[in-house]
Amino acid sequence: WSSRDFPWTKNLELNNKRVFGNHSFRPNQREIINATMSGCDVFVLMPTGGGKSLTYQLPALICAGITLVISPLVSLIQDQIMNLLQANIHAASLSAGMDWTQQLDILRELSSENSKYRLLYVTPEKVANYHPAETLLFLDCRSDSLLRHLESLNSHSLLARFVIDEAHCVSQWGHDFRPDYQGLGILKKKFPKIPMLALTATATASVKEDVVQALGLVNTVVFRQSFNRPNLWYSVVPKTNKCLEDIDQFIKKNHFDECGIIYCLSKMDCEKVTETLRKFGHKAAFYHGSMDPGKRAFVQKKWSKDEINIICATVAFGMGINKPDVRFVIHHSLPKSIEGYYQECGRAGRDGQRSSCVLYYCYSDYIRVKHMISQGGPGQSTMTTGYNRIASSGRTLESNTDNLLRMVSYCENEVDCRRFLQLVHLGEIFDSTNCKNTCDNCSSSKTLIEKDVTLIGRQLVELVKLTGERFSSAHIVELYRGSLNQTVKKHGHETLHLHGAGKHLSKSEASRILHYLVTKDILTEYVKKSDLYGSVSSLLKVNRSKAASILSGGQTIEMRFPSAVKVVKPSKHGP
């Protein structure tokens, strides 16, 4: 797709410079544009700040017909339309909040022969017939009406392409599931010949599969690039009762008068942290789901205009943050999953400049978050309807807890590169020599010692096999360390000869070794959906060919440990 001789190549380069003011294309941009303009369905996985918008805005400019963009939030749409207008490109939008006659005017203008609009942005409920007909007949006829207009545009060959922005919202496995997105499959059903371009910054393979299926993409061309964000510096810091003083000092020393986000667990934490930071002289404000929308918009605006430096927020403050110069993202407490953590950190440094991501960790926060999850999800800290729904019904409590335990082992890992640990979770193998000391573990001066963990590795593989390859890594670790928790007892796993064989290991050591086996492809994680509720969980199975040499003793496994840790004297049990 990078070949230069497409009929539109010259036009493309010209407009990229002239209209968008870019000197060149960023990685994959040209290829994506060529693929979608050739009429293919395209799926793009690109990290935040990578330049996804250009891949459909530039084609919209030079192709005949309208580009329909589905975007989840009105604020995101307004942002995009404003940017486009600055480049003198006209775009319209439709959303549920708009007056119906105003919407009709726009639709009429779009169908007129010399319409000035190149793009039409809509929120998903304009398309999806998600609402049960009996409750929302009225809305249904409105979304029908958009589809009817699309049909008429299409019959005049005036429908250029469909763009699904934040496409991960289709998937329950993603962190931002929105029920309305699931109805978008209707576009491909009604207009099979119109190319579709799906864009997301969420990288997991299971999300991708879900999205491709739900949207009905055909012979999809997939573009995926490394999700490493080289300008973000990661560290994990022990959280003490002087945490807020630490945060104050950290900001004053490293990011004086710069902009940042502090993620807090609850709305009360947000307000408390804000109050303390103000006392220390910072321009801080809080933002959470229980505030009314007007107040939230007000705070966000002040922050965008640099009238406030620091926002103390729950995860409700997320998607739709387009501020390019966020210089730090601090986690005042434990994030709920590595994927969520990656996304939240991703809001820093969109302009490519060096930015800090600091996570304050203590074990008691794990207990707090776990409790919140068991109460039916982190409801009080989010404002998106989709997330709440999924927290209480879709995802199981178990898989939420697994995600959280992964986060704990990330925090307790004092050895491996942070980038490596995050990216492995997103399905990408990152060579940690490329970290170049930009994370705390890589730049640590701690002495590390190679230790032989072959026997432990073998026992863990055996355990996965013995339990029928249908349990999560968290369960295998519990079992190996001799836990007698409910799940262990329910399945009679306390009777297995390897139950407790790893009781000399700490939880974080055991899970680090287990996850190492995953990164070496000896164990494989797979996603299992339960048919009943559509819930998903991540389970382990053995990769027979890779595991053979471990089990037969033909291959040894060595890992590095901090020299103070005694670790790996395997116990007498053994296969």
Residue 157 binding: pick among ligand ADP, Zn ion, none (C-beta 5-8 Å cut-off by kind): none
Measured CA to CA in angstroms, residue 270 lies from 146, 284, 347, 379 at distances of 41, 10, 18, 15
87-107 as b/e: b if 16+ CB within 10 A: eebebbbbbeeeeeeebeebb
Instruction: Name which of 322 and 432 has its Cβ closer to Zn ion.
Output: 432
Instruction: Name which of 393 and 432 has its Cβ closer to Zn ion.
Output: 432
Residue 48 binding: pick among ligand ADP, Zn ion, none (C-beta 5-8 Å cut-off by kind): ligand ADP
Tokens of 137: 């007949």
- Our finding on whether 348 is near ligand ADP (CB under 6 A) is no
Residue 192 binding: pick among ligand ADP, Zn ion, none (C-beta 5-8 Å cut-off by kind): none
Measured CA to CA in angstroms, residue 486 lies from 392, 490, 491 at distances of 21, 6, 9
Q: What is the C-alpha to C-alpha distance for residues 413 and 553, in angstroms, rounded to an integer? A: 27
- Our finding on whether 50 is near ligand ADP (CB under 6 A) is yes
- Our finding on whether 54 is near ligand ADP (CB under 6 A) is yes
- Our finding on whether 168 is near ligand ADP (CB under 6 A) is no
CA angle 116-120-125, nearest 5°?
Answer: 155
Show the site string, 9-48: x = touches ligand ADP by CB under 6 A, - = not. Answer: -------------x-xxx--x----------------x-x
Residue 183 binding: pick among ligand ADP, Zn ion, none (C-beta 5-8 Å cut-off by kind): none
Instruction: Name which of 211 and 442 has its Cβ closer to Zn ion.
Output: 442
Instruction: Name which of 237 and 417 has its Cβ closer to Zn ion.
Output: 417
Burial level of 543, CB count in 10 A (0-12/13-18/19+)? middle
Residue 273 binding: pick among Zn ion, ligand ADP, none (C-beta 5-8 Å cut-off by kind): none
Contacting residue, 1, 51, 78, 104, with ligand ADP by CB under 6 A: 51
- Our finding on whether 188 is near ligand ADP (CB under 6 A) is no
- Our finding on whether 75 is near ligand ADP (CB under 6 A) is no
Residue 51 binding: pick among Zn ion, ligand ADP, none (C-beta 5-8 Å cut-off by kind): ligand ADP
DSSP secondary structure code for residue 112 in this structure: S
Residue 417 binding: pick among ligand ADP, Zn ion, none (C-beta 5-8 Å cut-off by kind): Zn ion
Instruction: Name which of 146 and 415 has its Cβ closer to Zn ion.
Output: 415
Show the site string, 283-322: x = touches ligand ADP by CB under 6 A, - = not. Answer: ----------------------------------------
Instruction: Name which of 324 and 574 has its Cβ closer to ligand ADP.
Output: 324
Q: What is the C-alpha to C-alpha distance for residues 259 and 281, in angstroms, rounded to an integer? A: 14
Residues 6+ apart with CB under 8 A from 356: 232, 233, 235, 250, 254, 255, 327, 328, 329, 330, 348
Residues 6+ apart with CB under 8 A from 329: 260, 261, 262, 263, 344, 345, 347, 348, 355, 356, 357, 358
Residues in contact with Zn ion by the rule CB under 5 A: 417, 435, 439, 442
Residue 49 binding: pick among ligand ADP, Zn ion, none (C-beta 5-8 Å cut-off by kind): ligand ADP
228-239 as b/e: b if 16+ CB within 10 A: bbeebbbbbbeb
- Our finding on whether 543 is near ligand ADP (CB under 6 A) is no
* Cβ atoms 207, 427 nearer than 8 A: no
Smallest separation, CB 341 to Zn ion (Å): 15
Q: What is the C-alpha to C-alpha distance for residues 75 and 87, in angstroms, rounded to an integer? A: 19
Q: What is the C-alpha to C-alpha distance for residues 108 and 147, in angstroms, rounded to an integer? A: 13
Q: Label each residue of 355-406 as H, E or C.
A: EEEEEEECHHHHHHHHHHHHCCCCHHHCCCHHHHHHHHHHCCHHHHHHHHHH
* Cβ atoms 247, 281 nearer than 8 A: no
Q: What is the C-alpha to C-alpha distance for residues 444 and 441, in angstroms, rounded to an integer? A: 5
- Our finding on whether 52 is near ligand ADP (CB under 6 A) is yes
Smallest separation, CB 54 to Zn ion (Å): 30
Q: Which residues pair with 560 in a beta bridge?
A: 450
Instruction: Name which of 54 and 442 has its Cβ closer to Zn ion.
Output: 442
- Our finding on whether 60 is near ligand ADP (CB under 6 A) is no
Phi-psi region of 251 (alpha: psi -120 to 50; beta: other; left: phi over 0): alpha
Instruction: Name which of 51 and 575 has its Cβ closer to ligand ADP.
Output: 51
Contacting residue, 53, 129, 231, 401, with ligand ADP by CB under 6 A: 53
159-164 and 196-200: which strand pairing?
parallel
Smallest separation, CB 308 to ligand ADP (Å): 22
Q: How many CA atoms lie within 13 A of 250 on its CB side?
A: 23
Q: For the chain, how many helices (H) and strands (E)?
A: 22, 17
* Cβ atoms 266, 332 nearer than 8 A: no
Contacting residue, 12, 49, 177, 344, with ligand ADP by CB under 6 A: 49
Question: Given the rule CB under 6 A, which of 50-58, 114-122, 268-276, 327-335 is the region that contacts ligand ADP?
Answer: 50-58
Give the count of residues interacting with ligand ADP (CB under 6 A). Answer: 15
Smallest separation, CB 30 to Zn ion (Å): 31
Q: What is the C-alpha to C-alpha distance for residues 236 and 410, in angstroms, rounded to an integer? A: 9
Instruction: Name which of 17 and 279 has its Cβ closer to ligand ADP.
Output: 17
Instruction: Name which of 203 and 390 has its Cβ closer to ligand ADP.
Output: 203
- Our finding on whether 355 is near ligand ADP (CB under 6 A) is no
Instruction: Name which of 125 and 166 has its Cβ closer to ligand ADP.
Output: 166
Instruction: Name which of 442 and 539 has its Cβ closer to Zn ion.
Output: 442
Instruction: Name which of 329 and 407 has its Cβ closer to ligand ADP.
Output: 329
Residue 442 binding: pick among ligand ADP, Zn ion, none (C-beta 5-8 Å cut-off by kind): Zn ion
Residues that bind ligand ADP (CB under 6 A): 22, 24-26, 29, 46, 48-54, 324, 350
